[in-house]
Amino acid sequence: MAEFTTEDALRSRWSAAARPRAVRWFSGLGVVFVLGAAALGLLATRLTGMSYAVALAVAVVLLLTGGSCLGAAVVVQYPRAVGRLLQRLGLPLFLLAVAAIIVVAWAPVLLWPDKPLIVRDVLAVVGAVGFVSLFASFAIWWERKVAGRIQSRLGPMRVGGWHGWAQSIADGLKLFQKEDILPGGGDAVLFRMAAYVTFVPALSLFIALPFSAAWVGRDLDVGLLLIVALFGLGVIGVLLGGWASNNKWSMYGAMREACQVISYEIPLGFSLLIPIMVAGTLRLTTIGELQAGGFWTWLAFRNPFTLIAALTFLIATLASCKRAPFDLPEAESELVAGYMTEYSGFRWALFMFAEYAEMFAAGALTAILFFGAWHSPLPAAWGAAWATGPLWQQALHGVVFSGPLWLIFKGIFFVYVQIWLRWTLPRIRLDQVMHACVQFMLPVTMVVLLAQTFWQLLVPAGSVLAVALNLACTVLGALVALGIASIAVYGLRYRRRLVGTLVVDHLPGS
């Protein structure tokens, strides 16, 4: 069998008639957008103050849109050349894109703290789009690799060279070129809208999600509730999409999603109340800064109730991200692809992007609420001198003590936990989901809520009981972390014995 390469993934899937039309449209739109951006930029030089900033922000967005359109035109017109280019220069281009997105997204937010909020919002959304697309392409590749290893396979190995790292990019370009199919007899308007109804909330929650105390689009005093609300909104897109597909599998997927949502949202809300009660606020940055003093001050390890709440929250977010064992709405072995059955190409990609964005947001939220937010396990106070020192000391402080890197790391770790569970656990039935959520998790979270209330009323912060239980929970958490780490080291050490013989020759280092 011939090697499957990026070039194959890029082979044109456009019909002879559609291709020139698509190229015409994309290049026309791109030129219009770029010209508009240039005009706005020229206009902006004459303006001052707020209007200048707004005009500049709109111009940047227009320029990005126009650039994407022109890029799309080039991809559609010259797929083979683009494929060859990607193969040669893929990795540098990819790294350049990462750097560019981080700069475009976050530099203005940091350098420009008192600029109009609307500008910050626009830039934060641009940054979120960039971050989500990068993260999704990484996480999809990674999920396939992890799934492969769990099943003694290799996962994607061909595209891009090293362990198929470019697989997601090739997939994305392929999806982008696919025909946008509308199911016959379905509701075309709803079908088209549904993907956006899911995608937009999943993306806009990144405005309120803090990456560190300073790296946040908008530090709202209701930030936590806003993120949870936007989590809930995406569900409606799933329902509408399943309904509009006019397909019984999609319909079953949508109905299951509706049942599941009604079941998991209550325990989710109840377990959210625990960190809110401890911190006394809904502001996420305050909750995060509460956990700055080393990993024994992380909220999950405060007392046994917060630990239980952290676990129930983790389970509930698993359900809200539609991940196994709660992946009933998608259920690829029963319902084809559930609510996504009829979706193809770009709209399908939107659903996938929304899913991975929600996965990261759920992981980051778990980290912020229970596992030390953007702080490393070391107390941030130890590095206080570095935080105000010269730039290199600040950078070192960000890596060692607290910074966005830690939040991203923790978010990715929880995404890994979700992937791990998905490929390990079997899917449970719908009645089991409802039973687990309503008859097990709901009472548990309610009891925990009551217990935490009494704890806060009756047990003073520095008392012997509080310190002892804090210590016990911390030791338990440390043991679990050590266990996971030792299993990982064992797996790496004896990977040749653990993985099937078929793949041994392809493992790195052989």
- Alpha-helical regions (H) of 205-247: 223-244
User: What count of other Cβ atoms lies within 10 Å of the Cβ of residue 481?
Assistant: 12
Contact 365, 397 (CB under 8 A): no
DSSP designation for 375: B
Task: Pick one of 232, 294, 345, 389: the residue that binds another protein (CB under 8 A).
Answer: 232
Q: Which is nearer to another protein, 118 or 507 (CB)?
A: 118
Contact 353, 136 (CB under 8 A): yes
Please report, as residue ranges, which positions from 30 to 59 form the binding site for another protein (by CB under 8 A). 50
Contact 243, 183 (CB under 8 A): no
Task: Pick one of 86, 220, 279, 354: the residue that binds another protein (CB under 8 A).
Answer: 220
Q: Which is nearer to another protein, 300 or 331 (CB)?
A: 331
Contact 433, 331 (CB under 8 A): no
Please report, as residue ranges, which positions from 237 to 276 form the binding site for another protein (by CB under 8 A). 239-240, 243-244, 251, 254-255, 258, 261-262, 265
Please report, as residue ranges, which positions from 176 to 215 form the binding site for another protein (by CB under 8 A). 187, 189-190, 193, 197
Contact 317, 362 (CB under 8 A): yes
Task: Pick one of 63, 225, 417, 442: the residue that binds another protein (CB under 8 A).
Answer: 225
Q: Which is nearer to another protein, 189 or 381 (CB)?
A: 189
Stretch that binds another protein, among 65-73, 101-109, 229-237, 437-445 (CB under 8 A): 229-237
Residue 338: CB minimum distance to another protein, A: 15
> Is 219 near another protein (CB under 8 A)?
no
Q: Which is nearer to another protein, 36 or 232 (CB)?
A: 232
Residue 394: CB minimum distance to another protein, A: 32
Please report, as residue ranges, which positions from 114 to 173 form the binding site for another protein (by CB under 8 A). 116, 118
CA distances from residue 388 to 96, 317, 394, 396 in whole angstroms, order as listed: 29, 37, 7, 11
Please report, as residue ranges, which positions from 272 to 301 form the binding site for another protein (by CB under 8 A). 281-282
> Is 70 near another protein (CB under 8 A)?
no
Stretch that binds another protein, among 230-238, 342-350, 352-360, 409-417 (CB under 8 A): 230-238
Contact 258, 264 (CB under 8 A): no
Contact 320, 423 (CB under 8 A): no
Contact 259, 235 (CB under 8 A): no
Name 375's bridge partners. 402
DSSP designation for 293: B
Q: Which of 302, 295, 435, 318 is nearest to 365 (CA)?
A: 318
Q: Note the residues at the interface with another protein (CB under 8 A).
A: 50, 116, 118, 187, 189-190, 193, 197, 220-222, 225-226, 228-230, 232-233, 235-236, 239-240, 243-244, 251, 254-255, 258, 261-262, 265, 281-282
